[in-house]
Amino acid sequence: MLFDDTFKTISKPSEGMFKDKGSRFFAYLYPIQSEAEIKDIIAELKSIHPKASHHCWAIRLSLDRSIFRLNDDGEPSGTAGRPILNTLLSFDLTNVLAVVVRYFGGTLLGIPGLINAYKTATIEAIQASEVIVKTVDLVFKIEFSHSVMNEVMKVVKEENIKIFNQCFDLSCTFSLEIRQSQVNNVINRLEKIDGLKWKA
């Protein structure tokens, strides 16, 4: 069972493919952080597949998985973007863009055929990807004197906290990435250290 401060995504882009009655469906999966990334990715795929009849896609974003968008790109409503999105939902992936590029093979697939094709192509790309579990991390900045360095490092080590910025001057400043479920415990421990200050 995953905790509330974890989410599943993919580590790097992946591809899948499905054929039905001459139509070919090329699926592409991308890890993304924002909707702003969609436009460039779709434009790149359109340049790679200029003769494709459709470039349908869906995204799922945010750590609570609440943001999603989909696009049927001319396919009958609900036959492309929705099955792509539903596949992301069924695999519980977020921060992912899935695009399925279709080359029409001359034979109509019908509504059930289209839904199955877009879903199956997306599954192929997911199965070819590396699914990873990430934690929801919050960033905090602390300042403390050199004399309590050992106490701070003891908490950092025991709680497995990531330091991604550090400055050693007259005092020490750390930027810490703390897993959401650990925040209260870590704050309680750090606040017991003499002279430690939280910085905005």
Note the pLDDT of residue 56: 98
Helix H or strand E encompassing 88 = helix 81-90
pTM comes to 0.78
CB 128 within 8 Å of CB 82: no
Note the pLDDT of residue 1: 38
Cα 138 versus chain centre, distance:
16
pLDDT tens, per residue, the chain with 200 residues: 345 788 999 999 999 999 999 999 999 999 999 999 999 999 999 999 999 999 999 999 987 778 999 999 999 999 999 999 999 999 999 999 999 999 998 888 999 999 999 999 999 999 999 999 998 888 999 999 999 999 999 999 999 999 989 999 999 999 999 998 899 999 999 999 999 999 86
Note the pLDDT of residue 36: 94
Q: Give the gyration radius of the chain's Cα atoms.
A: 23
Note the pLDDT of residue 200: 64
Note the pLDDT of residue 107: 87
Of the candidates 90, 87, 84, the one whose C-alpha atom is nearest the C-alpha of residue 118 is 84
